[in-house]
Structure formats: structure tokens, C-alpha cells
Amino acid sequence: ELKVEQNPLFLSMQEGKNYTIYCNYSTTSDRLYWYRQDPGKSLESLFVLLSNGAVKQEGRLMASLDTKARLSTLHITAAVHDLSATYFCAVVENNDMRFGAGTRLTVKP
Amino acid sequence: NAGVTQTPKFQVLKTGQSMTLQCAQDMNHEYMSWYRQDPGMGLRLIHYSVGAGITDQGEVPNGYNVSRSTTEDFPLRLLSAAPSQTSVYFCASRTDRGKSYEQYFGPGTRLTVT
């Protein structure tokens, strides 16, 4: 069964600090998604990672994919309050998309 | 280009009632899907479609029906609503043409079953 596990589930950071969110999955899929969700809102696409070793960066966020280890990371650099949100990873296998439980990130001044 | 649209935004049903959640996209995407999101959880796939006339079950299909008669529309039907179906429902669409694989979500429908 396709499983996706994220950790941590809750993350409280101070502004200016760095941290990493981890996403482990059980399939051999090489397609992994990262989304951001603000309270009461829909999901906003951050990254689509399509191959082993893929790395993408946007602003203070950088995502990477290691298909051999079945692991993706979302690294946050010098966090700012605007990054406070819930972050989800998701994996696709045979058109079945499975999401992690999400990491609720709070960035404090 | 409206992207993915969903109606209604909010709905309250009584147990046993039926209703249809509407989803439409104007991007000519072949793949459409329905998810539910329960409080504090990730999204779970209900049903999906890889093209007009083709649908399949996801992780949590029981109690829901779908059909795909056109590329643009993918309605989700609740046959006999139950309190366990109280959730936020998201529709999404994607194309694998061009190899972007980007998936876009609608704004969601918040459903309460009493």
C-alpha cells in the first residue's frame, strides 16, 4: 500500500532560522509534489520533482528528491512570518495521489 | 482562464439527502480528481478520471459516484449523505502533456451533514 509520512507534524520556528521538513514514501514513484495551504484556503503548488536528484528552489524554500532513499526534503532558509502555513508532500503511483498528513509551520518573530 | 472552479462553496445537508458537487476546468486537462480533507489531515483521493468517459476509484470511494461526460466537467455525487461525509472537498486537474505534471486545485466546497 502506498504510504506517505511527513515529519515533523508541527514545527515552530523563529524568524531567521533554518529548518527541514522530511517526506518519506513507500512507492517507487519518481514524481513528488510539495504544496502549501493557508488556513481555510485551497492548496498552492510549490514544487513538482520528477527525477532522482531533482532540486528546485523558490525564494526561501528548496526541495529535493532522492528516489533511492524514497525521501524528499523541503528546506526553509532564514524563515519569515509569511512562511507560516501547512505544507504537504504528495506522491503519485498509477494515477493514485497520496498525501502526507502535513507539517504545520509557525514562524515567530 | 478561470482554472478549476467548484460550486457550491458551502453546503449543509441532512442525513440521507443527496447532492452533486460541481467541478469544471477550462485548461483542457485530461486528468481530474476529487479529494476530501478532514480536519488536521492531508487530502484523500475519492475518485479520478483520466479522460472523458473514464473514471476510477481512489482511496476512499464509498458513498460517492462520479461521471465524466466532457473534458471540462467532473461532478461528484453523494448518494445518501452521512455525518461521516462532513469534510472539505477539493477538485483538481492536471495534464501530463508537455511533461509539467503540475496539478491545480479548485477553491473547495465545505460540506456539513447533520
Which of A31, A96, A99 shows the shortest C-beta gap to B42? A99
Measure in Å the smallest separation between the Cα of B85 and chain A Cα atoms: 18
Tell me if chain A has a CB within 8 Å of the CB of B56. yes
pLDDT tens digits along A23-54: 999 988 878 999 999 999 999 999 999 888 89
- Per residue of chain A (109 residues), give pLDDT as tens: 889 999 999 999 999 999 999 999 998 887 899 999 999 999 999 999 988 889 999 999 999 999 999 999 999 999 999 999 999 999 998 888 899 999 999 999 8
Instruction: Say whether A33 and B103 touch across the interface (CB within 8 A).
Output: yes
B79 φ, ψ to 5°? -80, -45
pLDDT of B70 above 90: yes
Residue-wise pLDDT for B41-60, tens only, equals 889 999 999 999 999 999 99
Report CA-CA distances (Å) from B52 to A83, A99, B70, B111.
38, 25, 5, 26
Grid look-up 523541503 returns A74
Interchain pair B31, A95: CB under 8 A: yes
* B51–chain A Cβ distance below 8 A for any pair: no
- Among candidates B40, B42, B58 on the partner chain, residue whose Cβ is nearest the Cβ of A96: B58
Question: Cβ contacts (< 8 Å) between A88 and chain B: which residues?
Answer: 42-43
- Taking alpha carbons only, the member of A80, A60, A70, A67 closest to residue A6 is A70
The DSSP bridge partners found for residue A55 are: A64
Average pLDDT value for residue range B5-14: 97
Closest-CA residue of B relative to A93 is B58
DSSP 8-state secondary structure symbol assigned to residue A81:
G
Q: How far is CA B98 from CA A49, A51, A93, B39, B65, in A?
A: 15, 16, 19, 35, 30
pLDDT of residue A28: 83
User: For position B34, what pLDDT does the model report?
Assistant: 98
CB A31 within 8 A of CB A50: yes
